[in-house]
């Protein structure tokens, strides 16, 4: 496990956390952060993928605002800081930085040239954009928000995408969920999974919305997606 640096398309230097399996090799998964930065939970997700045989890279997408952010959502002041950072975040530049991470990952030592991406919350929305605009081989987004206004980009999706939607997500109301499902149902590359009775953040263990059965099911579906498309 190590902190690395990735060169961005505009010449910047973006930090990232990398977790490597014991074998030292495998396909690469780019882990896209929540609004709390590349914090211990995001690093634990990367570690989990490494245990499952993937090289995992979590880029610091807030590096242009404040490098090295690692916030604890259980601390009120840090929770508020996270929303402040999100308000300053340039979404399009973030997608470009994800592409930089994917391009870096294709050449990673021990990699096989295949790269997927998985994101949560803000990262779930970025995952949708990643599937639409980057060359990720397979992508998964957990509880994406505010993508219902960008569904015209879905015509650009060429590689598999899985979206995990929390039916009780206060940030993605039922009408938005229905728009997403209706717009994406005709694309055979896209699977939209709904999880009844759970709220936003259901896959983050330790959060108030954590739901282990739903998280386990979503994680299993994501793992299957990656095994099928990144091997």
pLDDT tens-place string over residues 140-163: 999 999 999 999 999 999 999 999
Token representation of residue 23: 């074998």
What's residue 1's pLDDT?
A: 78
Q: Show the low-confidence residues of the chain (pLDDT under 50).
A: none
Q: Beta strand 161-166 with 190-195: parallel, antiparallel or unpaired?
A: parallel
From the list 47, 60, 172, 200, the catalytic residue is: 200
Q: Hunting for tokens 């938005």 — which residue is that?
A: 176
Domain count, the chain: 1
Q: Is the dihedral of CA 126, 132, 134, 138 positive or negative?
A: positive
Active site residue 164: no
What's residue 108's pLDDT?
A: 95
From the list 97, 121, 132, 209, the catalytic residue is: 121
How far is 16 from 66, CA to CA, in rounded Å? 13
How far is 167 from 218, CA to CA, in rounded Å? 13
Q: Hunting for tokens 């598999």 — which residue is that?
A: 160
What's residue 6's pLDDT?
A: 98
What's residue 143's pLDDT?
A: 98
Active site residue 200: yes
CATH number at residue 197: 3.40.50.1820
Active site residue 104: no
Q: Write out the residue range of the structural domain in which residue 93 sits.
A: 2-230
SS3 86: helix
From the list 60, 169, 172, 209, the catalytic residue is: 169
What's residue 59's pLDDT?
A: 98
Residues in the chain: 231
């Amino acid at each position: 496990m190590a902190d690395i640096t990735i060169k961005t398309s505009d010449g910047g230097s973006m930090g990232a956390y990398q977790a490597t399996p014991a074998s030292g090799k495998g396909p690469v998964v780019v882990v896209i952060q929540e609004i709390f930065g590349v914090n211990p939970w995001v690093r634990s997700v990367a570690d989990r993928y490494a245990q499952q045989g993937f090289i995992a890279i979590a880029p610091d997408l807030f590096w242009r605002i404040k490098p090295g952010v690692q916030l604890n959502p259980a601390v009120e002041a840090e929770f508020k800081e996270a929303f402040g950072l999100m308000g300053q975040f340039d979404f399009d530049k973030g997608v470009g930085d994800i592409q930089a991470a994917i391009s870096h990952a294709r050449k990673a030592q021990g990699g096989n040239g295949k790269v997927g991406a998985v994101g949560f919350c803000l990262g779930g929305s970025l995952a949708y954009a990643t599937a639409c605009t980057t060359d990720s081989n397979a992508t998964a987004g957990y509880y994406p928000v505010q993508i219902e206004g960008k569904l015209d980009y879905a015509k650009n999706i060429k590689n598999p995408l899985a979206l995990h939607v929390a039916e009780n997500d206060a940030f993605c109301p039922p009408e938005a969920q229905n728009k997403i499902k209706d717009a994406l149902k005709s694309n055979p590359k896209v699977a939209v999974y709904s999880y009844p009775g759970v709220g936003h953040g259901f896959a983050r263990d330790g959060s108030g919305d954590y739901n282990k059965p739903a998280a386990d099911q979503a994680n299993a579906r994501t793992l299957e997606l990656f095994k099928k498309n990144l091997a």
